[in-house]
Amino acid sequence: MPSFEDKYLDVLQNIEMAILSVYRQHKDLLDYDVDRVLNLLWTEYRKEQVGKETPVPALNENAQLVYDRVKDVCEFRLGRPSKITIKGWFASKPKPISVDEIMDCLKRIRKSVALWNKEGGRQGYLYFIDNHID
């Protein structure tokens, strides 16, 4: 049976590319901002499952960029309308996944943020993905 990372590699990479695109434009982005956004999105999807509304988040500029880009990726991977165009990111439209699967992917990336932040400091996770994703 494939590992979680193997099964959802494309989704995890899509989310991390969205994060990395902000970091490469804003080198002052912190792991804290990324973790906060991932937790916020996980909470939004959880509340959606139980029919509750989520207030619009108050985020700093960098975190807002991460939020917007990661949310677009998540919505696209859920098969919902998003700002992502097929041409720029994907060769074809991927098969939609469930909200539970998106939540699991967000949770998995949060674990990576925690690990690399502990290893490398305030931007440890961002340094790691910048050096491992093209």
Span 89-115, average pLDDT: 90
Is pLDDT at 85 greater than 70 in this prediction?
Answer: no
Is pLDDT at 78 greater than 80 in this prediction?
Answer: yes
Q: How confident is the model at residue 90 (pLDDT cuts 50, 70, 90)?
A: low
pLDDT tens, residue by residue, 14-55: 999 999 999 999 999 999 999 999 999 999 999 999 999 888
- Residue given tokens 């990479």 in the structure block: 13
What is the reported pLDDT for 89? 54
Q: Is the CB of residue 31 less than 8 Å from the CB of residue 125?
A: yes
* Mean residue pLDDT across the chain: 92
Number of independent structural domains in the chain: 1
Helix (H, G, I), strand (E, B) or coil at 87: helix
Is pLDDT at 86 greater than 70 in this prediction?
Answer: no
Q: How confident is the model at residue 2 (pLDDT cuts 50, 70, 90)?
A: confident
pTM score: 0.90
The two most distant CA atoms of the chain are separated, in Å, by: 41
What is the rounded end-to-end Cα distance, in angstroms, of the chain?
A: 28
Which of 67, 97, 105 is CA-nearest to residue 83?
67
> In degrees rounded to 5, what are phi and psi of residue 92?
-150, 165
Q: How confident is the model at residue 67 (pLDDT cuts 50, 70, 90)?
A: very high
Is pLDDT at 102 greater than 60 in this prediction?
Answer: yes
Which domain, by its residues, includes 10? 4-132
